[in-house]
A and B are shown apart, each in its own frame.
Chain A
Amino acid sequence: MVLFSVLAIALKDLLQSAVALAVSSLLLGIIFFRMDAPYAGAFEISVVAGLITVLFILTIALVHKGDEVRESRLANWVFPLVFVAFIVIDALVMKGLLGKVPALASGAETGTFGEVLWKGRTLDLVGQIAVILAGVFSVLALFRKGDKHE
């Protein structure tokens, strides 16, 4: 999954990047399923790997000449170098850091996922509805403005 995510950033062709991102989302969804989180896995695969990839590909098709952005030569070797350096540091340091994380004082969860979502995180749901509405209105506003220009 990390490999596909890195490919999504490093590949020069935008379409290939979008497909690599979709594959990485798919693998993340499978990891979610393996962690006993079927709802999050289903959302990740259907929404992120499906809908967001479609949106990306649509945008890339609309701005097909935007492919021609010249990346700096520095980026070709700085990005892999930084990434490999971090992986080495990560492998050396992370285990020690994790040992120092104090245990959270939280009780064990009871009930089903639905109960936790509807009773425990009710405010989140209200926020989600507000965010979706905000997204819809902002997209509407942006495209209406574009039409007036034409």
Chain B
Amino acid sequence: MSNTWFFYVFFAAALVVAGLAGLLVKRNLIKLFICIEVIGKGISLLLLSTGFAKGNILTAQALVITYIVIEVSLVATALALIINVYRTSRSLDIRRLAKLKG
């Protein structure tokens, strides 16, 4: 059990760090959002694997489902924002967004 848990935590940490590194180096807005999604995947894997290892799988499952619902709402709002940003600035480059005035 502990060995399996180790592997899951290992991969969850790898996902979170991959997402964070992507957030730091990428410039495309949609790409940045994909990085946030990857971080979320790491967190949900960590939640469920810990619940599985400690014998609390049902609570962990309920938390993961809550997270998925929040994620859908977040994705819909963020993608609508991205489309609006694209309509305004005709670009998805975050450097160009930083130069916007007014």
A residues adjacent to B (C-beta < 8 A): 1-2, 5-6, 8-9, 14, 17-18, 21, 24-25, 28, 31-32, 35-37, 39-40, 43-44, 47-48, 51-52, 55-56, 58-60, 62-63, 65-66, 69-72, 74-75, 78-79, 82-83, 86-87, 90-91, 94-95, 98, 103-104, 106, 108-109, 111-113, 116-117, 120-121, 124, 127-128, 131-132, 134-136, 138-139, 142-143, 145-146, 149
Number of chain B residues close to chain A: CB under 8 A:
67
Could you tell me if A132 and B25 are in contact, using CB atoms closer than 8 angstroms? no
B residues whose Cβ falls under 8 Å from a Cβ of A:
2, 5-6, 9-11, 13-15, 17-19, 21-22, 25-31, 34-35, 37-38, 41, 44-45, 48-49, 51-52, 54-66, 68-77, 79-84, 86-87, 90-93
Residues of A within 8 A of B19 (CB): 5, 9
Report yes or no: A63 in contact with B65, Cβ–Cβ below 8 A.
Answer: no
**Which residues of the partner chain B approach A104 to less than 8 Å between Cβ atoms?**
54
| Main SS at interface, chain B | helix
Q: Is the CB of A135 within 8 A of B74?
A: yes
Query: Do A116 and B18 touch (CB < 8 A)?
Result: no
Q: Which residues of A contact B63 (CB under 8 A)?
A: 121, 124
Q: List 12 A-B contacts (CB under 8 A).
A: A5-B15, A37-B57, A47-B68, A48-B68, A52-B72, A69-B91, A71-B27, A90-B17, A98-B2, A109-B57, A138-B76, A149-B87
- Nearest Cβ in chain B — how far from A10, in angstroms? 8
* Distance, CA A55 to CA B74, complexed state (A): 12
Find A8's partner among B38, B48, B72, B82 (CB 8 Å cutoff). Answer: B38
